[in-house]
A and B are shown apart, each in its own frame.
Chain A
Amino acid sequence: MRRLRVTIGLLSLGLLVAGCTERALLEVDPETAPGQTTPTEEIEIPIEGLLSWRDTTYMGYVLPASSNYRVVVDSVDEQSRLLGRIETIPDSIDTPTGQEAIEGYSNGRFRLIVDTTISHVPIQGMDLEIYSLTRRYDKQQTTWTLAETDVPWTTPGGDLGERIASLTIDAPFDSTVSDTVFVPFVVSTDSVLSAWRATGGEPGFAIRVSGATAFVQVSSVALLFDVKPEQQDTLIAAARSPAGSTVIFDPETPDPGQTSRLAGLPSSRIYLDFELPDTWQGLQLKGSMINAASLVFRPGPPAPIPFLLEFPLEITAFQLLADPFVVGPKTPIGATLGPTVLLDPDTITEDDAELVLSITPYVLAWSLGPVDSLTVLRVGVQALPEGRDPGFWQFGSAEDVQELRPTVRLLVTPRVPFRNP
């Protein structure tokens, strides 16, 4: 028995020593390294090399009414006006003695808060005018030429009626004093507000400037007025913000045509889908490690004024959860596929400039997923902030010339073959 214990002990010791010995790794020169390996290759697949590719531009994700773009312009290249409605002109008011009916309105004026750092008053000064409209408009559908869908303005830019408020502003803006501009009524406040009270603010008003190169960035608009309660001699100040406000501009944002467009107002996105081949030029893609994958877009020329992109945008690509060519612009969106990329209008015009958007996790899921679990890759591209201003940038699409068409760029490490042990 003792010998058996000794035997087992010796065997265990030997196996333990053997098992604990660690092999050291040789550090070798990459040029002469032994063993089986596989190269990491960068490839660029033109859309003709894909099994399929479809792309399109959808517009309207942010409309003028829902954007923060509130600019009143009068220039050769662009005209724009703000439209609004004061829907809640009061017919009674709370006083220390109780709620009193309103007998009349007076001292009306619009208060505009202006971004004086970017607004521009021409040397000869400008008139800031507010007109009542003679035709109602639909907030979501109105444009420079249309009051609503299929209903054109009699006069493009809005059917202007009576001028109800006006202010002449001399150059330059004295921003050191105030960025608040009061535009007083030039007609009877009581008659205008009584009419608006009766119609719920319809058909509304338009704010315009006149004076070449006048440009006013408006941060907010409010109507200030005094009310006189019945049976009282005192006036009570009141204020209302416009509802249904929007901006219309000329020229209107053109249709993207055959190009791919990002940003603008209404804002545009690029939606696309494509199918990668399992192999490309002999290189196995399906089943390989996709270290990086990008969609590459080639920029077109700058858009004309007023659609020239002035400020950088953050561009992001995201997964689409349904077929965008069936569901349309409202295709549900999924996860963001990569970091945002800066679209800088100052550098995108350089030679060979590209917009490169990472879609690595999506392509990796295609590569390493079960066969046929994911065949069509659907991607959306948008610019952030979306709908900031009419400025946009366009890129080559599948229907453009070869040099402008998008491509898929991959960094691929195929499987190690491990052919022969």
Chain B
Amino acid sequence: MRRPVSTQRPRFVRPSVVRAPGLAGLLLLMVAPALVGQMPTTALGLGYPVPPLDARAAAMGGTGLGLLGGSLSSRNPADLRGFRRPTLGLTYAPEAIGVESSGGSQTTGRSRLAIVQAAVPIRSWTFGLGFTSGLDMDWGVVLQDTLQSSFGTFPYDERRENDGGVSMVTLTAVREVGRFSVGIDGSILTGSLRQTFIRTFEPSLEDPTVDIGVATGEARFSFSGFRIRGGAVTQLGSRVRLSGVVGWASDLKADRDTLSPEAAELDFSMPFEWAIGGSAQITSSLLGTAALGYSGWSTTNEDLNSSSSANVFWYGLGLEYIGFSVFGAGLPLRAGVRRTDLPFFLVGTEQLVETAATFGVGLEVGGGLASFDLAVELGTRGDLATSLVQESFRRLSISMSLFQL
């Protein structure tokens, strides 16, 4: 009987001494470092910034600033003074997406509760409480490949999903001072992100009794931060309203809720932003609106690893025609166009641009106690040739508003 043999030696061994049968190489599954096509915009950087618009503003070129008749969008806190009665509105905005790649197009869908906004006027003040979707980080992909090893050949499915994003809960105060309404709001940035990875291997092709199971991973982050904005609105006579806003936000802090050797806390600079816009009653039945804005997302660039960010400029133009009615209720028709840069894009590629043509219709019911608004936006984001990311989208915004609660 042989005596036990002990081998206590240094950890590392020259690769040449490794005797690997069959596949001599060690790395079997190559993970593509580049992300070419098939990339949803919500997977870029901190995600897709959801415009805080109600359906009326969305239908009119995504403006939402200084709209005569009021808007429950959250472009400018001072615009809440446009409601003279207590108001509650909710906008739901699902969209169908076509993600383009060199191999073709795939359709997917996203849904968002874009904004919930309440406004309560009290004498010369209006107070508001709102919830808005900020950054949408939802996406999911599934891929199929085959792992070849000396243990066998294993086809597998791999799902990578991100679920979550950043939302804002906003408290607003507006006061009417002469011909101006001056407003300020404070927003808490909140939300979470759950990243999951599941690779499910099928049994070996050579021997179905050989099963190597699954590989999974998960990370959860909680977001926190705040934003302050100040804005003003003025009415020039009864036919023109102008609106402007500036905003500043703290860093967005992402706390890791799961154990990881990676950093437990990540900070992302959030942009300084401004926007101006307004609307004018061109004729008694035709309203025109325009707005433009800026967000300084370039400061976030140094906080990102796998993507870049750049400043965002946006503008929109829209019209509203109020000449139609149904059963005595007004049926405004709306249309517009808009263009906006998107803040996040792949490293080494061009910044994405989103353009859309917008349409919509509204319906007041209950003698003006409630309204329903509908907007359809048809547009594209990015360009496959220059930004390696391209989506076509059809967004439907549905707003329900109640007045004088």
**Residue positions of A touching B, CB distance < 8 A:** 3-4, 6-7, 10-11, 14-15, 17-18, 21-60, 255-258, 277, 280-281, 289, 291-292, 294, 298, 324-325, 329, 339, 352, 354, 360, 397-399, 402-403, 407, 409, 411, 413, 415-421
Contacts and interface: CB of A to CB of B under 8 A. Distances in A.
A169 B177 CA distance: 128
Given A21-B111, A27-B106, 10 more contacts: A24-B108, A27-B142, A37-B199, A47-B7, A48-B9, A54-B5, A55-B4, A258-B2, A409-B150, A418-B219
A42 B26 contact: yes
Interface stretch (B72-80, B155-163, B274-282, B309-317): B155-163
Given A34-B38, A37-B158, A21 B94 contact: yes
A411 B149 contact: yes
A35 B160 contact: yes
A184 to B, nearest CB: 43
Contacts of B331: none
B151 interface: yes
A24 B109 contact: yes
Interface string B41-55: 001001000000000
Interface of B: 1-13, 15, 17-21, 23, 26-32, 34-40, 43, 46, 88, 90, 92, 94, 99, 101, 103, 106-113, 116, 137-145, 147, 149-151, 158-162, 193, 195, 197, 199, 201, 209-210, 212-217, 219, 221, 254, 258, 260-263, 266, 304-306, 369-370, 400, 402, 404-405
B108 A48 contact: no
Given A44-B18, A289-B216, A34 B5 contact: no
A42 B28 contact: yes
A7 B405 contact: yes
A326 B404 CA distance: 85
Contact of B4 (A15, A56, A354, A420): A56
A254 B402 CA distance: 96
Contacts, number: 265
A137 to B, nearest CB: 22
A14 B113 CA distance: 8
Contact of B405 (A4, A48, A292): A4
Contacts of A33: 32, 35, 38, 141, 143, 158, 160
Nearest to A47: B7
A37 B160 contact: yes
A255 B88 CA distance: 90
Nearest to A10: B400
B94 to A, nearest CB: 6
B260 A23 contact: no
Contact of A42 (B108, B109, B137, B149): B149
B262 A30 contact: no
10 contacts: A26-B40, A29-B101, A39-B31, A42-B151, A44-B26, A50-B11, A52-B8, A398-B7, A399-B5, A421-B219
A256 B106 CA distance: 65
B26 A34 contact: no
Contacts of A15: 113
A258 B7 CA distance: 13
A140 B155 CA distance: 53
Contact of B150 (A3, A26, A42): A42
Contacts of B140: 23-26
Contact of B2 (A3, A21, A57): A57
B202 to A, nearest CB: 12
B137 A421 contact: yes
Contacts of A40: 28-29, 147, 199, 215
Q: Of residues B23, B99, B109, B149, which shows the largest number of chain A Cβ atoms within 10 Å of its Cβ?
A: B149
Contacts of B4: 54-56, 324-325
Contacts of B15: 281
Contacts of B17: 46, 48, 402
Given A4-B405, A397-B5, A421-B137, A14 B109 contact: no
A258 B304 CA distance: 57
A256 B7 contact: no
Contacts of B90: 10-11, 14
Interface centre among B10, B160, B400, B405 (most CB of A within 10 A): B160
Contact of A23 (B7, B28, B109): B109
Contact of A41 (B28, B161, B304): B28
Contacts of B106: 26-27
Nearest to B401: A10
A53 B7 contact: yes
A363 to B, nearest CB: 12
B372 to A, nearest CB: 10
Nearest to A410: B151
A252 B32 CA distance: 60
B35 A34 contact: yes
B405 A289 contact: no
A419 B197 CA distance: 13
A399 to B, nearest CB: 5
B237 to A, nearest CB: 34
A362 B202 CA distance: 21
B141 A27 contact: yes
Given A420-B304, A421-B193, A46 B2 contact: no
A289 B147 CA distance: 15
A34 B160 contact: yes
Contacts of B5: 54-56, 258, 397-399
Contacts of B263: 419
A292 B151 contact: yes
B21 A32 contact: no
A289 B400 CA distance: 49
A344 to B, nearest CB: 16
B405 to A, nearest CB: 6
A109 B197 CA distance: 76
A23 B108 contact: yes
A281 B13 CA distance: 9
A201 to B, nearest CB: 32
Contacts of A419: 262-263, 305
B151 A28 contact: no
B29 A257 contact: no
A420 B140 CA distance: 16
Contacts of B108: 23-26
Contacts of B161: 25
A48 to B, nearest CB: 5
Contacts of B150: 42, 409
Contact of A58 (B1, B43, B144): B1
A416 B217 contact: yes
A411 B139 CA distance: 29
Contact of A21 (B6, B26, B109, B306): B109
A332 B72 CA distance: 74
Contacts of A329: 1
B18 A46 contact: yes
Given A38-B215, A291-B213, A421-B254, A32 B18 contact: no
A44 B258 CA distance: 30
Contacts of A51: 8, 11
Contacts of A39: 27-31
Contacts of B369: 3
Given A10-B90, A30-B144, A32-B38, A418 B217 contact: yes
B141 A28 contact: yes
A291 B3 contact: no
A256 B2 contact: yes
B107 to A, nearest CB: 7
